[in-house]
Copies of this chain bind each other. A is one copy, B any other.
Amino acid sequence: MKADLAENSGVRGSMVIKPYGYAIWEKIQAELDKKFKETGHQNAYFPLFVPKSLFEAEEKNAEGFAKECAVVTHYRLKTDPNNPHKLIVDPEAKLEEELIVRPTSEAIIWNTYKSWIQSYRDLPILINQWANVVRWEMRTRLFLRTSEFLWQEGHTAHATKDEAIEETEKMLEVYADVVENFMAIPVIKGFKTPTERFAGADETYCIEAMMQDGKALQAGTSHFLGQNFAKAFDVKFTNREGKQEFAWATSWGVSTRLMGALIMTHSDDFGLVLPPKLAPIQVVIVPIFKGEEQLAEISVVANDIFDKLKAKGISVKYDDRTEYKPGWKFAEYELKGVPLRIAMGARDLENNTVEIARRDNLTKEVRSLENIEDYIEELLVTVQNDIYKKAETYRNEHITKVDSYEEFKKVLEEKGGFIAAHWDGTAEEEEQIKEETKATIRCIPLDAEEEQGVSLITGKPSNKRVLFAKAY
């Protein structure tokens, strides 16, 4: 909130994403959208409203999502006959069938795909949608859990199971790539347990990140939906052998929740720390001056640096406002996470130097103006990498192997983070651990090593460790 990214709105559980926050979201969007298109997907748009009956078609989905949702029951207001300044719901304008504001769009989309898919020639369908969705959350928190949020949802249809699984895995890789290399947030790729799986999915893949308070955050999911939705909405096609078959499905999504991951992975006590690739302003130039004459002299050099950086495609701002002091500006840009600050005063002018401050590690250096634009360009790359490495180090230091339930509880309490432990594979053990410790199985890592062990509570044999954590 202090960095001006978002604020709570007058509508319970809904946030306002402010321009600075939205500019970061737009950068995340643009990068994802580019990757989606590179992997053959097209954007489309499906209705906001889903007739209630469509949720009844896929029962697991209904169980999971359709219950805590916004329900449209009427389509008109009228002036209150007792008070001309008040509006009331017009009881005559009651819908025959209630409409649900989409919590996710599998139902409406598969109901549509029914008429698009007749033959294997119509497959695959590789569609993504950028949209708002609503889930009626009781406890909300900016970016992390809001009743309305923005996201993208991919919905694909395939002729074979293998192709659908390949798609599910491909999109998980796209997510991991963008979140790690663009947002500088290291993630662990894994499977969800059946308990934590998306309702209606045969397999849910996820990327899990570790926040600085030791809590995990699910940053994205990719679902192999099997033929569940095809069966619910009767989406059959004639395969190459001329036989009728149900289509195979995937869905995958990331949301404005990524903004929460960004904030909680990199920030420090001075405010936001933005990886250069995501920063709306990558470099800010602040003049330190006494009087207008000195400002004019500094501005000549500052504008030259500005132009050179701009020519390199670097997003740069020259803040020569006179109503704010340099110290105030320094604090402001630190709060907003601007990766590099160039300060220039009278002494710098004499010496042909500038002071460069890095937001990520708070170091400063005085540097000659010579080839300053090349230096800044390289430094932005270094900062991007260092921010990632710092987060990765923290994350790696917060994966603890434990072999007893006692140790599990101790680590969870004292250190937090991911706990790699053996699990007997049952929902019962998972549930008991959750109830007793609030930790859940975040994922079964895709690259989990084969290792013999016994599970935490029941002591049954297990051949790999899963990752537990408390989570957002």
Known contacts A42-B23, A112-B9: A49-B14 contact under CB 8 Å: yes
Among B9, B45, B52, B87, contact of A56 (Cβ-Cβ < 8 Å): B87
> Size of chain A's interface in residues, with CB distance under 8 A?
62
Whole-angstrom distance from the CB of A197 to the nearest CB of chain B? 21
Q: Would you list 10 pairs from A and B whose C-beta atoms are within 8 A, ordered by A residue?
A: A9-B47, A11-B50, A16-B45, A22-B42, A23-B42, A49-B70, A49-B134, A67-B77, A69-B77, A70-B75
Counting CB contacts under 8 A, is A312 at the interface? no
Among B49, B59, B76, B127, contact of A11 (Cβ-Cβ < 8 Å): B49
CB-CB < 8 A to A87: which residues of B?
Answer: 52, 55-56, 62, 66-67
CB-CB < 8 A to A50: which residues of B?
Answer: 11
A108 touches B10 (CB 8 A): yes
CB-CB < 8 A to A22: which residues of B?
Answer: 42-45
B14 touches A48 (CB 8 A): yes
B72 touches A72 (CB 8 A): yes
Whole-angstrom distance from the CB of A384 to the nearest CB of chain B? 24
Of A19, A89, A127, A148, chain B has the most CB atoms within 10 Å of the CB of A19
Counting CB contacts under 8 A, is A342 at the interface? no
B18 touches A44 (CB 8 A): yes
CB-CB < 8 A to A43: which residues of B?
Answer: 19, 22-23, 26
A48 to B146, CA, bound (A): 12
Whole-angstrom distance from the CB of A106 to the nearest CB of chain B? 14
Stretch touching chain B among A97-105, A158-166, A246-254, A411-419: A97-105
Whole-angstrom distance from the CB of A260 to the nearest CB of chain B? 15
A77 touches B72 (CB 8 A): no
B76 touches A101 (CB 8 A): no
A127 touches B46 (CB 8 A): no
Counting CB contacts under 8 A, is A460 at the interface? no
B72 touches A101 (CB 8 A): yes
A134 to B18, CA, bound (A): 23
CB-CB < 8 A to A47: which residues of B?
Answer: 9, 11, 14-16, 148
A47 to B45, CA, bound (A): 19
Known contacts A11-B108, A89-B98: A76-B68 contact under CB 8 Å: yes
A17 to B130, CA, bound (A): 12
CB-CB < 8 A to A148: which residues of B?
Answer: 47-49
CB-CB < 8 A to A73: which residues of B?
Answer: 71-74, 89
A17 to B131, CA, bound (A): 13
B18 touches A150 (CB 8 A): no
Whole-angstrom distance from the CB of A96 to the nearest CB of chain B? 10
B72 touches A71 (CB 8 A): yes
Whole-angstrom distance from the CB of A58 to the nearest CB of chain B? 11
Among B19, B77, B121, B134, contact of A48 (Cβ-Cβ < 8 Å): B134
CB-CB < 8 A to A49: which residues of B?
Answer: 11, 14, 70, 134, 148
CB-CB < 8 A to A56: which residues of B?
Answer: 85-87
Counting CB contacts under 8 A, is A463 at the interface? no
Counting CB contacts under 8 A, is A132 at the interface? yes
A72 touches B75 (CB 8 A): no
Known contacts A11-B47, A48-B148: A19-B71 contact under CB 8 Å: no
A9 to B330, CA, bound (A): 53
A23 to B127, CA, bound (A): 12
Whole-angstrom distance from the CB of A448 to the nearest CB of chain B? 37
Among B14, B67, B150, contact of A76 (Cβ-Cβ < 8 Å): B67
CB-CB < 8 A to A52: which residues of B?
Answer: 77, 87
| 15 further contact pairs, Cβ within 8 A, besides A19-B44, A71-B75 | A9-B108, A11-B50, A49-B134, A52-B77, A55-B77, A62-B77, A67-B76, A67-B77, A69-B76, A71-B72, A71-B74, A71-B77, A72-B101, A76-B136, A121-B323
Chain B, residue nearest A15 (CB)? B47
A16 touches B74 (CB 8 A): no
A323 to B122, CA, bound (A): 13
Counting CB contacts under 8 A, is A51 at the interface? yes
Using a CB-CB cutoff of 8 Å, which residues 294-350 of chain A contact chain B? 323
